[in-house]
Structure 1
Amino acid sequence: MSLKRDNQAEKREVTSIRNDYVRSVEMEGQRKKAHRVRLFRRLSVFGVLVLMATIWVGSTIYAQSQTISEKELLREETLQELEAVEKEQSQLEEQILLLNDEEYLAKLARKDYFLSDEGEIIFTTPTDEEKDEEKPAEEE
Protein backbone atom coordinates (compact mmCIF):
# COMPACT_ATOMS: atom_id res chain seq x y z
CA MET A 1 0.00 0.00 0.00
CA SER A 2 2.81 2.34 0.56
CA LEU A 3 3.63 2.18 -3.11
CA LYS A 4 0.23 3.49 -4.06
CA ARG A 5 0.59 6.42 -1.73
CA ASP A 6 4.01 7.33 -3.16
CA ASN A 7 2.68 7.16 -6.74
CA GLN A 8 -0.26 9.32 -5.81
CA ALA A 9 2.02 11.82 -4.10
CA GLU A 10 4.20 12.06 -7.19
CA LYS A 11 1.23 12.65 -9.46
CA ARG A 12 0.12 15.66 -7.50
CA GLU A 13 1.35 18.91 -8.86
CA VAL A 14 2.93 21.39 -6.58
CA THR A 15 2.15 25.00 -7.33
CA SER A 16 4.91 27.46 -6.76
CA ILE A 17 4.47 30.45 -4.62
CA ARG A 18 4.78 33.68 -6.58
CA ASN A 19 6.21 36.09 -4.11
CA ASP A 20 9.04 38.60 -4.55
CA TYR A 21 11.71 36.29 -3.15
CA VAL A 22 10.87 33.45 -5.53
CA ARG A 23 10.80 35.84 -8.49
CA SER A 24 14.18 37.35 -7.52
CA VAL A 25 15.71 33.86 -7.17
CA GLU A 26 14.30 32.86 -10.57
CA MET A 27 15.59 36.08 -12.14
CA GLU A 28 19.01 35.53 -10.55
CA GLY A 29 19.05 31.99 -11.93
CA GLN A 30 18.12 33.28 -15.39
CA ARG A 31 20.83 35.96 -15.18
CA LYS A 32 23.43 33.36 -14.21
CA LYS A 33 22.30 31.11 -17.04
CA ALA A 34 22.41 33.99 -19.55
CA HIS A 35 25.81 35.05 -18.20
CA ARG A 36 27.09 31.47 -18.59
CA VAL A 37 25.79 31.35 -22.20
CA ARG A 38 27.41 34.70 -23.04
CA LEU A 39 30.66 33.58 -21.41
CA PHE A 40 30.65 30.37 -23.44
CA ARG A 41 30.02 32.35 -26.64
CA ARG A 42 32.83 34.81 -25.87
CA LEU A 43 35.23 31.99 -25.08
CA SER A 44 34.22 30.18 -28.29
CA VAL A 45 34.84 33.28 -30.41
CA PHE A 46 38.15 33.90 -28.63
CA GLY A 47 39.14 30.27 -29.18
CA VAL A 48 38.32 30.49 -32.89
CA LEU A 49 40.36 33.69 -33.20
CA VAL A 50 43.32 32.11 -31.40
CA LEU A 51 43.07 29.05 -33.65
CA MET A 52 42.99 31.22 -36.79
CA ALA A 53 45.97 33.25 -35.57
CA THR A 54 47.89 30.07 -34.79
CA ILE A 55 47.19 28.66 -38.25
CA TRP A 56 48.25 31.93 -39.88
CA VAL A 57 51.49 32.13 -37.88
CA GLY A 58 52.24 28.47 -38.58
CA SER A 59 51.70 28.82 -42.31
CA THR A 60 53.83 31.97 -42.39
CA ILE A 61 56.67 30.23 -40.56
CA TYR A 62 56.43 27.22 -42.88
CA ALA A 63 56.49 29.43 -46.00
CA GLN A 64 59.47 31.37 -44.68
CA SER A 65 61.38 28.20 -43.85
CA GLN A 66 60.75 26.93 -47.39
CA THR A 67 62.01 30.23 -48.80
CA ILE A 68 65.09 30.09 -46.60
CA SER A 69 65.92 26.53 -47.66
CA GLU A 70 65.51 27.46 -51.35
CA LYS A 71 67.80 30.44 -50.89
CA GLU A 72 70.37 28.25 -49.12
CA LEU A 73 70.39 25.87 -52.09
CA LEU A 74 70.73 28.80 -54.48
CA ARG A 75 73.57 30.17 -52.35
CA GLU A 76 75.41 26.83 -52.46
CA GLU A 77 75.03 26.63 -56.24
CA THR A 78 76.23 30.21 -56.61
CA LEU A 79 79.27 29.52 -54.43
CA GLN A 80 80.15 26.52 -56.59
CA GLU A 81 79.79 28.64 -59.72
CA LEU A 82 81.96 31.30 -58.11
CA GLU A 83 84.70 28.76 -57.38
CA ALA A 84 84.59 27.53 -60.98
CA VAL A 85 84.77 31.10 -62.32
CA GLU A 86 87.65 31.97 -60.01
CA LYS A 87 89.52 28.85 -61.14
CA GLU A 88 88.90 29.75 -64.78
CA GLN A 89 90.02 33.32 -64.09
CA SER A 90 93.29 32.14 -62.56
CA GLN A 91 93.89 29.88 -65.59
CA LEU A 92 93.21 32.78 -67.93
CA GLU A 93 95.57 35.02 -65.97
CA GLU A 94 98.28 32.37 -66.28
CA GLN A 95 97.59 32.14 -70.00
CA ILE A 96 97.88 35.93 -70.29
CA LEU A 97 101.28 35.78 -68.64
CA LEU A 98 102.36 33.01 -71.01
CA LEU A 99 101.07 34.89 -74.06
CA ASN A 100 103.18 37.87 -73.07
CA ASP A 101 106.28 35.64 -73.39
CA GLU A 102 107.66 35.72 -76.96
CA GLU A 103 109.26 32.29 -76.73
CA TYR A 104 105.98 30.69 -75.73
CA LEU A 105 104.18 32.49 -78.58
CA ALA A 106 106.75 31.23 -81.09
CA LYS A 107 106.44 27.68 -79.79
CA LEU A 108 102.64 27.88 -79.87
CA ALA A 109 102.63 29.25 -83.43
CA ARG A 110 104.96 26.49 -84.62
CA LYS A 111 102.81 23.83 -82.97
CA ASP A 112 99.31 25.02 -83.93
CA TYR A 113 99.92 26.78 -87.24
CA PHE A 114 102.89 24.74 -88.53
CA LEU A 115 105.12 27.79 -88.74
CA SER A 116 108.83 27.21 -88.84
CA ASP A 117 112.06 29.04 -88.13
CA GLU A 118 114.48 29.71 -90.93
CA GLY A 119 115.92 26.49 -92.28
CA GLU A 120 113.54 24.32 -90.30
CA ILE A 121 111.48 21.59 -92.03
CA ILE A 122 108.17 20.46 -90.50
CA PHE A 123 107.15 16.83 -90.63
CA THR A 124 103.66 15.83 -89.57
CA THR A 125 103.16 12.51 -87.86
CA PRO A 126 99.85 10.78 -87.29
CA THR A 127 98.34 11.36 -83.88
CA ASP A 128 97.44 8.59 -81.47
CA GLU A 129 93.75 8.85 -82.41
CA GLU A 130 94.52 8.29 -86.09
CA LYS A 131 96.70 5.28 -85.21
CA ASP A 132 93.87 3.78 -83.11
CA GLU A 133 91.42 4.23 -85.98
CA GLU A 134 93.78 2.54 -88.48
CA LYS A 135 94.55 -0.56 -86.36
CA PRO A 136 91.02 -2.08 -86.32
CA ALA A 137 90.71 -1.52 -90.08
CA GLU A 138 94.01 -3.33 -90.74
CA GLU A 139 93.18 -6.28 -88.47
CA GLU A 140 89.98 -7.18 -90.33
Structure 2
Amino acid sequence: MGTKRKNVTSLENQYIVDQKNSEHRKELHKKRLIRRLSLFIVFAVVVSGLLISSMVTRANVLEEKQAQKVQLDEQLVQLKKDEKKLNNEIEKLNDDEYIAKLARRDYFLSDEGEIIFNIPEDGQTASDQEN
Protein backbone atom coordinates (compact mmCIF):
# COMPACT_ATOMS: atom_id res chain seq x y z
CA MET A 1 0.00 0.00 0.00
CA GLY A 2 1.48 3.14 -1.00
CA THR A 3 0.99 6.47 0.50
CA LYS A 4 -1.93 7.98 -1.17
CA ARG A 5 -2.50 11.62 -0.79
CA LYS A 6 -5.92 12.97 -0.86
CA ASN A 7 -6.20 16.33 -2.36
CA VAL A 8 -8.84 18.33 -0.60
CA THR A 9 -9.91 21.54 -2.08
CA SER A 10 -11.47 24.14 0.10
CA LEU A 11 -14.68 25.65 -0.87
CA GLU A 12 -14.67 29.37 -1.16
CA ASN A 13 -18.31 30.09 -0.85
CA GLN A 14 -19.83 33.00 1.08
CA TYR A 15 -20.55 30.95 4.22
CA ILE A 16 -16.91 29.84 4.60
CA VAL A 17 -15.65 33.40 4.05
CA ASP A 18 -18.12 34.73 6.62
CA GLN A 19 -17.02 32.05 9.14
CA LYS A 20 -13.33 32.90 8.63
CA ASN A 21 -14.06 36.62 9.04
CA SER A 22 -16.13 35.91 12.16
CA GLU A 23 -13.30 33.86 13.71
CA HIS A 24 -10.78 36.55 12.80
CA ARG A 25 -12.96 39.23 14.46
CA LYS A 26 -13.34 37.06 17.58
CA GLU A 27 -9.56 36.62 17.81
CA LEU A 28 -9.00 40.37 17.41
CA HIS A 29 -11.69 41.09 20.02
CA LYS A 30 -10.07 38.60 22.41
CA LYS A 31 -6.61 40.21 21.92
CA ARG A 32 -8.04 43.71 22.53
CA LEU A 33 -9.90 42.49 25.62
CA ILE A 34 -6.71 40.96 27.03
CA ARG A 35 -4.80 44.19 26.34
CA ARG A 36 -7.50 46.31 28.01
CA LEU A 37 -7.66 44.03 31.04
CA SER A 38 -3.86 44.01 31.33
CA LEU A 39 -3.76 47.79 31.13
CA PHE A 40 -6.54 48.07 33.72
CA ILE A 41 -4.73 45.69 36.09
CA VAL A 42 -1.48 47.63 35.76
CA PHE A 43 -3.34 50.89 36.37
CA ALA A 44 -5.13 49.41 39.41
CA VAL A 45 -1.85 48.15 40.87
CA VAL A 46 -0.16 51.53 40.41
CA VAL A 47 -3.08 53.43 41.96
CA SER A 48 -3.28 50.94 44.85
CA GLY A 49 0.45 51.31 45.46
CA LEU A 50 0.17 55.08 45.54
CA LEU A 51 -2.78 54.96 47.92
CA ILE A 52 -1.07 52.53 50.26
CA SER A 53 2.09 54.62 50.20
CA SER A 54 0.08 57.73 51.00
CA MET A 55 -1.71 56.00 53.87
CA VAL A 56 1.56 54.75 55.38
CA THR A 57 3.10 58.20 55.11
CA ARG A 58 0.10 59.83 56.73
CA ALA A 59 0.07 57.21 59.50
CA ASN A 60 3.74 57.97 60.23
CA VAL A 61 3.09 61.71 60.28
CA LEU A 62 0.11 61.20 62.58
CA GLU A 63 2.19 59.05 64.93
CA GLU A 64 4.91 61.70 65.06
CA LYS A 65 2.34 64.42 65.75
CA GLN A 66 0.80 62.37 68.57
CA ALA A 67 4.22 61.82 70.14
CA GLN A 68 4.92 65.54 69.83
CA LYS A 69 1.54 66.32 71.43
CA VAL A 70 2.32 64.06 74.40
CA GLN A 71 5.69 65.75 74.83
CA LEU A 72 4.13 69.22 74.64
CA ASP A 73 1.42 68.22 77.13
CA GLU A 74 4.13 67.15 79.59
CA GLN A 75 5.95 70.41 78.97
CA LEU A 76 2.72 72.34 79.55
CA VAL A 77 2.18 70.60 82.91
CA GLN A 78 5.75 71.45 83.95
CA LEU A 79 5.33 75.07 82.85
CA LYS A 80 2.11 75.39 84.84
CA LYS A 81 3.92 74.08 87.94
CA ASP A 82 6.69 76.61 87.34
CA GLU A 83 4.11 79.36 86.88
CA LYS A 84 2.51 78.50 90.23
CA LYS A 85 5.91 78.56 91.93
CA LEU A 86 6.80 81.89 90.35
CA ASN A 87 3.44 83.44 91.24
CA ASN A 88 3.91 82.23 94.81
CA GLU A 89 7.43 83.73 94.82
CA ILE A 90 6.03 87.05 93.52
CA GLU A 91 3.50 87.14 96.34
CA LYS A 92 6.22 86.40 98.88
CA LEU A 93 8.54 89.05 97.44
CA ASN A 94 5.83 91.66 98.06
CA ASP A 95 6.12 90.83 101.78
CA ASP A 96 8.81 92.85 103.58
CA GLU A 97 9.37 90.19 106.25
CA TYR A 98 10.13 87.56 103.61
CA ILE A 99 12.62 89.88 101.88
CA ALA A 100 14.33 90.53 105.21
CA LYS A 101 14.51 86.79 105.90
CA LEU A 102 16.07 86.18 102.45
CA ALA A 103 18.62 88.95 102.99
CA ARG A 104 19.61 87.50 106.35
CA ARG A 105 19.91 83.98 104.99
CA ASP A 106 21.59 84.63 101.62
CA TYR A 107 23.66 87.74 102.25
CA PHE A 108 24.32 87.36 105.98
CA LEU A 109 22.68 90.70 106.79
CA SER A 110 21.44 91.26 110.30
CA ASP A 111 19.08 93.51 112.20
CA GLU A 112 20.35 95.72 115.00
CA GLY A 113 21.51 93.62 117.90
CA GLU A 114 21.57 90.34 115.97
CA ILE A 115 24.68 88.20 115.75
CA ILE A 116 25.07 85.77 112.84
CA PHE A 117 26.47 82.31 113.54
CA ASN A 118 27.43 79.88 110.77
CA ILE A 119 26.41 76.40 111.81
CA PRO A 120 27.94 73.60 109.73
CA GLU A 121 25.52 71.29 108.02
CA ASP A 122 25.40 67.63 109.02
CA GLY A 123 28.57 65.77 108.00
CA GLN A 124 30.75 68.89 107.64
CA THR A 125 33.61 69.76 109.94
CA ALA A 126 34.89 73.21 110.78
CA SER A 127 37.90 72.75 108.48
CA ASP A 128 35.61 71.77 105.55
CA GLN A 129 33.54 74.87 106.08
CA GLU A 130 36.56 77.19 105.97
CA ASN A 131 37.60 75.88 102.56
Q: TM-score, normalised by structure 2?
A: 0.88
d(CA) in 2 for partners of 1:88 and 1:55?
A: 49
Identity score, percent: 37
- Secondary structure in 1 matching 2:52: helix
Question: Which of 95, 101, 105 is the aligned partner of 1:107?
Answer: 101
CA distance in 2, matches of 1:92, 1:31: 89
**Structure 1 unaligned runs (5+)?**
135-140
CA RMSD of aligned residues (A): 2.0
Asked if 1:61 corresponds to 2:51, the answer is no
Matched, 1:41 2:35: yes
Which residue identity does 2:34 align to in structure 1? F
Task: State the distance in 1 between where 2:123 and 2:108 align.
Answer: 19
Shift of 1:130: 2.5
Letter in 2 for 1:40: I
Question: Matched residue pairs, number?
Answer: 127
**Secondary structure of 2:64 counterpart:** helix
Residue type of the alignment partner of 2:28: A
Poorly superposed stretches of 4+, deviation over 4 Å: none
Q: 1:90 aligns with which of 84, 88, 92?
A: 84
Work out whether 1:27 is the aligned partner of 2:21.
yes
| Unpaired segments ≥5 residues, structure 2 | none
TM-fit CA distance, 1:100? 0.7
* Map of 1:16 onto structure 2: 10
Deviation track 1:17-59 (CA, whole Å, cap 9, x = no partner) reads 1111101100000000100100110111011111111111110
Indicate the SS of the match to 2:124. Answer: helix
3-state secondary structure, aligned to 1:18: coil
Of the structure 1 ranges 119-128 and 84-93, higher mean CA displacement relative to structure 2 is found in 119-128
Match of 2:45 among 36, 48, 51: 51
The reply to whether residue 70 of structure 1 matches residue 67 of structure 2 is no
The structure that is helix-richer by fraction is: 1
| 1:12 shift after superposition | 3.7
Amino acid at match of 1:126: P
So what's the TM-score if we normalise by structure 1?
A: 0.83
Per the TM alignment, residue 129 of structure 1 is displaced from its structure 2 partner at its CA by 5.1
Q: Give the whole-Å Cα distance in 2 for the aligned partners of 1:92 and 1:109.
A: 19
